[in-house]
C-alpha cells in the first residue's frame, strides 16, 4: 500500500511529550516505512531534524537526555526569557556539524513565530541550528532567537501542526500530535497558572484537530497528558507510549493491504 506513495511526516510541538514522536519513528522503521520529507514545530522540529539527519533512535533519545533544560550557566538577565536559548547552539553543533538544511538526508520544514509581525515563518534552507532553536523557544522560559534582526519564538504559538508544508508535496501523510487535551475536574483549575495552561492547550488543540484528522495515519496518545511538558523524567515513558501507539496504528494500516 505504501510502496508506491510519497510519505510526509508531521510532528507537533509539546515539550517532553514529543519523545512519543521518536517512538513512532522506531515503529515506522521496524515496519520498513520511511518518510520522504518531514515538517515539525518546536520539539517536533528537533525530532524531525534528527530524523532527517538519519540519526538512530538511540541517538535521538541521547540528544534529549543529555541536553540540559535548566542549566545554571544558561540563565540570563539580559534577554527576555529565563534561559538564553542560543547557549544551546554548541550542543546542537555536535549533532549537526554542517549546520545546514542542505546537509540533511531528506527535506525538512520547521516553523517558528516572528514576534515582530505576529506571523509564522517556515525555514527549509540555509543555516539549520538557529531556526531549530527558535522553533523550540517556548516563552517565557526560553529567550527568543535573533535571526537577521528578527526575533523568533516557539512555532507552536502560530502553528503547532504544520501539515500544509508537506501535504502538496506528498500523497500520504503520517501525523503525530503530542499536544493532547483530556477532560479535567474543577479542582484542576484552581489557580491562574492552571487556567492559563488549560486555555492555551484548548486553543492549540482547536486549531490543529481538523488538520490532524485529515492525515492518512495519525497518533494522538491521550496518556501523554500525565507527562509534564518540561519533565525530563518522562522521556522514556513518552517514548514507550509513542512506540506502542505507533506500532498499533501501523499494524492496523498494513493489515488492510
User: Given 12, 114, 143, 154, which residue is catalytic?
Assistant: 154
Residue in 110, 103, 104 with CA at minimum distance from that of residue 39: 110
Helix, strand, or coil here: 55?
A: coil
Asked if omega into 140 is within 30° of 0 (cis), the reply is yes
Residue in 19, 10, 11, 9 with CA at minimum distance from that of residue 224: 19
245, 23 Cβ separation under 8 angstroms: yes
Residue 211 CB contacts under 8 Å (≥ 6 apart), including other chains: 161, 163, 164, 175
User: What long-range pairs does 201-206 form, CB within 8 A, spacing at least 24?
Assistant: 204/156, 204/160, 204/179, 205/179, 205/180, 205/181
User: Given 12, 42, 176, 201, which residue is catalytic?
Assistant: 42
154 given a catalytic annotation: yes
10, 40 Cβ separation under 8 angstroms: yes
34 given a catalytic annotation: no
Q: List the beta bridge partners of residue 109.
A: 39
Residues recognised as catalytic: 42, 154
Amino acid at each position: 500500500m505504501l510502496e508506491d506513495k510519497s510519505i510526509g511526516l508531521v510532528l507537533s510541538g509539546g515539550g517532553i511529550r514529543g519523545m512519543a514522536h521518536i517512538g513512532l519513528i522506531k515503529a515506522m522503521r521496524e515496519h520498513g516505512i520511511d518518510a520522504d520529507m518531514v515538517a515539525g514545530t518546536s520539539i517536533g522540529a528537533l525530532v524531525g531534524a534528527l530524523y532527517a539527519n538519519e540519526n538512530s533512535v538511540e541517538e535521538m533519545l541521547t540528544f534529549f537526555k543529555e541536553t540540559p533544560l535548566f542549566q545554571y550557566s544558561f540563565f540570563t538577565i539580559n534577554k527576555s526569557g529565563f534561559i538564553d536559548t542560543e547557549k544551546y547552539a554548541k550542543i546542537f553543533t555536535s549533532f549537526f556539524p554542517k549546520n545546514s538544511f542542505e546537509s540533511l538526508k531528506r527535506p525538512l520544514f520547521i516553523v517558528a513565530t516572528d514576534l515582530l509581525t505576529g506571523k509564522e515563518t517556515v525555514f527549509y534552507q540555509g543555516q539549520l541550528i538557529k531556526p531549530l532553536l527558535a522553533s523550540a523557544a517556548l516563552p517565557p522560559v526560553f529567550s527568543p532567537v535573533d535571526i537577521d534582526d528578527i526575533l523568533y519564538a516557539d512555532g507552536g504559538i502560530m502553528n503547532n501542526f504544520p501539515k500544509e508544508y508537506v501535504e502538496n508535496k506528498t500523497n500520504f501523510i503520517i501525523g503525530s500530535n503530542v499536544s493532547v487535551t483530556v477532560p479535567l475536574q474543577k479542582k484542576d483549575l484552581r489557580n491562574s497558572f492552571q487556567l492559563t495552561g488549560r486555555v492555551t492547550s484548548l486553543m492549540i488543540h482547536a486549531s490543529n484537530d481538523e488538520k490532524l484528522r485529515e492525515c492518512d495515519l495519525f497518533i494522538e496518545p491521550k496518556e501523554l497528558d500525565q507527562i509534564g511538558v518540561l519533565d525530563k523524567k518522562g522521556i522514556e515513558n513518552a517514548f514507550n507510549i509513542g512506540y506502542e501507539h505507533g506500532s498499533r496504528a501501523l499494524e492496523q494500516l498494513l493489515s488492510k493491504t
